[in-house]
Structures are given as C-alpha cells and as structure tokens.
Structure 1
Amino acid sequence: MSKIKYILGLFDDPDQMMHGIDKLQENKIGIYDVYTPMPIHGIEDKLGVKRSRLGIVAFICGITGTFTAFSLMYYTMVYDWPMNVGGKPNFAIPNFIPITFELTVLFCALGMVAAFFFRNHLFPGRAPRVMELRATTDRFVIAIDANAIADSTQVDNLLKEAGAVEIKHNERKYVSYE
C-alpha cells in the first residue's frame, strides 16, 4: 500500500499565496489544505470551507445541562425527598434557576472542549499532524494531493508562476516534537 504524497508550495507573502490559490483553482486543481502562521481574512470563502457547526454542538450541550439540572432537582426535591420549606411548593421554578443556569454553562463549556479535542484529533499520546514545520512561523503553505492530479510538473509551474519560494514533494508524516 503506497503512502499518499503531497506537493507543498511554500510562500513568503499571504497575497502571493492567495494568488497561487486562484491560479490552482482556475486550472481545476484541487487544494488539499492551506497552512498559515496567522489568520487570513477571506481564505475560507476562497477555499470553499463550510460554515462551522460548533453552535449546534453548543446548543445541544447547553440543553443537555438544562434538562439534567431540572430533572435532578425535580427528583431530589419533589419525588425522592420532598420537604416543606416555609410553606413553599416543592417544585418552585424560581428557586431552581441559578443551579439550572450554572449546569447549562458547565455542560456547554465541557462539551465544547470535548468537541474541540475530538474534531482536531488532539487525543492524549497522539503525535501532531504537521506537513511543514515552518508553516507555524514564517511560511504560507498550499498542500495539493499528488494522487488527485495527473501531471505534477503543471502544478509545480503554476506554483512557481504564483510566487512560491519553495516547492516540496513529500509523504505525509506525523512529526513528534519530543
């Protein structure tokens, strides 16, 4: 079984990298991913990245916390051990609002952390997936899947025309910083 190879175009300037993305898309060459040391405005739209579903995950986690809080308080205060406190009803909703709010926020926060770790593959003991180490410091990298294209020299020429400082042909590696 062969390893998937990638063509990496390294750029010094974000504008040149955006020009490289345009050139590749004009020639119908699919881009695997783009790695930048800083956020670049408008790159998601240019690459066709879908909108995040993180808000849906936050809502589901918050509703889970709300239902957990209400069901726990109902079970303890009404069903399991009802107490007469100052003649108030056992299920007085205004008394439950602070705890419900706190559990909603707690479940939402912990759910978002879990979703972040799951989505970004940041599990304990897993080596980070790094294509080019300089992408975190001073280089802007466009990665193209070499198996998806027929002619790699065409991609090399397009990247050079766009202003790539360096072009690498490599296999995907999992780099460990230890």
Structure 2
Amino acid sequence: MIQDWPQDIGGKPSFSYLENMPAFVPIMFELTVFFAAHLMVITFYMRSRLWPFKKAENPDVRSTDDHFVMEISVHDNEESLRALLEETGAVEINISEKHS
C-alpha cells in the first residue's frame, strides 16, 4: 500500500526504522521520564510498605483528633521508663504489644 501511494507526512520518510529513528528520540526521552517516575513511586511504596487499602497502624484513634502519641520501644526497662514519663507530666501511659 505504501508503494502505491507514498506519502511524506511531516517530512518523515516511511521506509525503515533507521531513517525514522531521529523522529523517535523525543518519544523515547518522554517514555524514559514516564517509566522512571512510575517505577520510582512503585519503589517508594515497596520500600515503605505503604500499599493502597492497607490497614492503618494508628496506636490510638484519638491521635488524629486532639491528642499527641509517643510510641516507645520497651527493652526490659518498663518500670524506669514509666517512672520517667510520670514525673515529666505524662497524662496517660498505655503499654501494648506490637504485632508485626
């Protein structure tokens, strides 16, 4: 069909890839940027373990309203840590097990 009615569209010949390659340079650049951006977002989700529809790991529901939450890992010093928090003015101290 192209031999019957050769058309020169935009100054690009329709013969082979090597002749058309300069026209594809901007397209390949844009595809590189597109895939780099999308793969960067996917890598961020994988590294931070943030997935769509993942259950939130909020230790206390009131922290989204008007409370402040401080989550501390306890390593055999629970009593001294509790005493330190009480003497510095902690309003409420809850100890819960973290499930991974």
Tell me the TM-score range normalised by the shorter chain.
0.5 to 0.7
- 5+ residue gaps, structure 1, are 1-80
Whichever residue aligns with residue 27 of structure 2, its letter is I
Query: Structure 1 pair 170/154, CA: closer, same or farther in 2 (3 Å)?
Result: same
Q: Which has the higher helix share?
A: 1
1:116 aligns with 2:44: yes
Partner of 1:69: none
Q: Is the 8 A contact 1:131 1:173 kept in 2?
A: no
| TM-score of the two chains, using structure 2 as the length reference | 0.60
Report the structure number with the largest CA radius of gyration: 2
Whichever residue aligns with residue 137 of structure 1, its letter is D
Q: Deviations over 1:83-106 (max 9, x none)?
A: 28xxx94543xx334212321221
Query: Structure 1 pair 109/156, CA: closer, same or farther in 2 (3 Å)?
Result: same
Relative contact order higher in (CA < 8 Å, ≥ 6 apart): 1
- 5+ residue gaps, structure 2, are 1-13
Whichever residue aligns with residue 154 of structure 1, its letter is S
Query: Structure 1 pair 136/101, CA: closer, same or farther in 2 (3 Å)?
Result: farther
1:156 to 82, 85, 97: 82
Query: Structure 1 pair 126/142, CA: closer, same or farther in 2 (3 Å)?
Result: same
| TM-score of the two chains, using structure 1 as the length reference | 0.39
Q: Indicate the SS of the match to 2:40.
A: helix
Alignment of 1:1-178 (within 5 A): 83=16, 89-92=19-22, 95-123=23-51, 126-146=54-74, 148=75, 150-172=76-98
What is the identity percentage for the equivalent residue pairs of Structure 1 and Structure 2? 37
Q: Which has the higher strand share?
A: 1
Query: Structure 1 pair 101/161, CA: closer, same or farther in 2 (3 Å)?
Result: farther
**Structure 2 Cα separation of the partners of residues 82 and 163 of structure 1:** 80
